[in-house]
Each structure stands twice: as structure tokens, then as C-alpha cells.
Amino acid sequence: MAIAPLITKDSSTKIASELAALALGLHHCTVQVRSRHSGGGSGVIWHSDGLIITNAHVARDERVTVELSDGQVIDAVRTSVDPRRDLAALRIEATDLPVVTVGDSDALRVGELVLAMGNPQGVVGALTTGIIHEVGPTDAQYRQRWIMADVRLAPGNSGGPLANARGQVIGINTMIAGGLALAVPSNEVERFLKGGSRPYFGVTLRPVQVLLENKRILGLLVLEVASGSLAMAAGFMLGDVLIGACGQRFNTPDDLVNVLENTEPGESLPLEFLRKGKLYHCNAIARSSFDITGKIAEV
């Protein structure tokens, strides 16, 4: 008895047609980015009014050129950059541009089909496909969240879109690590656009156990305070031990990073710490993404 094929000729033709349509749509929303110091890469038209998202390592210069899918070459200005997320926002003078549909990267599942569009090694509008391997942090990249997929990338793909099977962009392709493609999740891009760069506290920390009120709790020992950083402006010193923020004691070393990432400009940021065994607090104010000020007071 003959075994019925999983994919019939008609369904195969339909799938091929749909993939071609997705590829064409992504191509129209993908640009080539050329920078004097980083060579070239790709970018994604995020808003129709000229906002383009790419990698920070692609747009190292404040002024770059962008080539649209129709061949137009336009000067672009870098309006925001976050090296730790490896994201940059560009602005060009244009309107009514073809724009991507942004998907929810938190809804991705392992094994889901994804498509990567870019301009690898001078090939314009190249498409490659694969499946989601994992979504989460990698040891090599510390707390950065990545979408990891078995998609083939090459120089020139950086900054291009990673899309799901519905054509929604769920990531920005960035690099290859351990044979897997790494992309910045779309929700991380939205946070970048909402608040600019991640808050940078400017300290080197080491998790330690400290004794407070006869209990051992987690603390973050300050090993270094960067010159000119917001931590220095707020008065933090080597040897201080951060133990809490926003009224909550730390349970994991990542808790401070999570608090900073969710702090908006103008929002109060109460910090609690120990200095030479005494408890202090600093009710800091986030004036901008890179600037927090406040006064330290003994509790």
C-alpha cells in the first residue's frame, strides 16, 4: 500500500508561494546600511516615517547611508545607540515607507519556523530559514536575552529582520555564536525605543552574603565605581554593599539589573545598601536613561 505524502503537490505549491510572498514583503522593509568604520550591514524599517533599527556594531558612525529596496540611497542620522543591547536607531528623511509588522518575541516557542532577511556578503535581499533553538540569556553574553535559531547568517546579515512564519518581525539578527544565529528580541527593541539605552549604573559588582539583623542576605559588593558614572554622582563608594531597590531586598544577582531596566526617566529609584556595617538609603531620581542622581542618607 502506498504511503500518502505529508505534503501534496498542491500544498507544496501553496507553501512555496506563501514563502515567496513573505520574502518579498521582508525585502521591501529591509535596507542596506553603510558606515565608514564598520563597512556594511542591514537594517529594518520600523516606522513608516523613517525610523530604522539596526545593530550598534553596524552603525558605529553618527551619520551613515541607507539604501532602500528600490535603490534609493539616503543619508541617515543615528539618533540612539545601546552597545550592550547591540541596537541603534537611525532616522532618514522619508515618509510612507514600507514597514514591518512587529511580533511578540515573548510568545516564541522552541521549534517554531523563522526566516532571516539581509544582505550577506553583498547579496541583496537574501532569505534563509530555520527553527527556534532557544530564547533566553547566554553565559557568554551575561544577562542579554537572545533569540537563538539554526539560521545561517553571514557578514551583511547583521541588523536585518528575523521573522516568524506569519511575517512578523520578532528579532534583529546580530551574530553567530556556537553555530547558532543570535537575534535581539523584538520586545527588547521596543524597550530600547521607549527608553533609549539601558540605565548604566557604572559599577562592578560581586554577589556576597552579608549579615543584617542576625540574618544572612544577598548583597552586591561594589568593587569599582566608574569615573563620571551615575553611581559616582549618587555618592556610591568601593566597599558599599547594595542589598535592595524599590523596597525589595535582592534575591538574585540579576535583581538590580531588572529594576534599572524598568525604571523610567523621572521615576524615583530607592536604593538600600550597607556601608561599613551601617544601613543607608539613596532615593535616586532617574533623570534620563544614563543619568541618576540622589543623596545618600543613613537609616
Residue with cell 523621572: 266
CA distance 39 to 91: 19
Going by C-alpha positions, the residue among 115, 147, 120 that lies closest to residue 19 is: 115
Torsion angle in degrees (nearest 10) through CA of 185, 23, 92, 74: 140
Going by C-alpha positions, the residue among 136, 134, 133, 131 that lies closest to residue 114 is: 131
Task: Kindly state the DSSP code that residue 172 receives in the 8-state scheme.
Answer: E
Question: Of the residues 80, 158, 229, 289, which is catalytic?
Answer: 158
- Does the active-site annotation cover 291? no
Question: Of the residues 82, 86, 240, 255, which is catalytic?
Answer: 86
- Does the active-site annotation cover 86? yes
Question: Of the residues 27, 28, 42, 57, which is catalytic?
Answer: 57
Q: Which amino acid, one-letter code, is at 228? A: G
Going by C-alpha positions, the residue among 112, 153, 115 that lies closest to residue 133 is: 112
State residue 239 phi and psi, 5-degree precision. 95, -15
Q: Which residues have a catalytic role annotated? A: 57, 86, 158
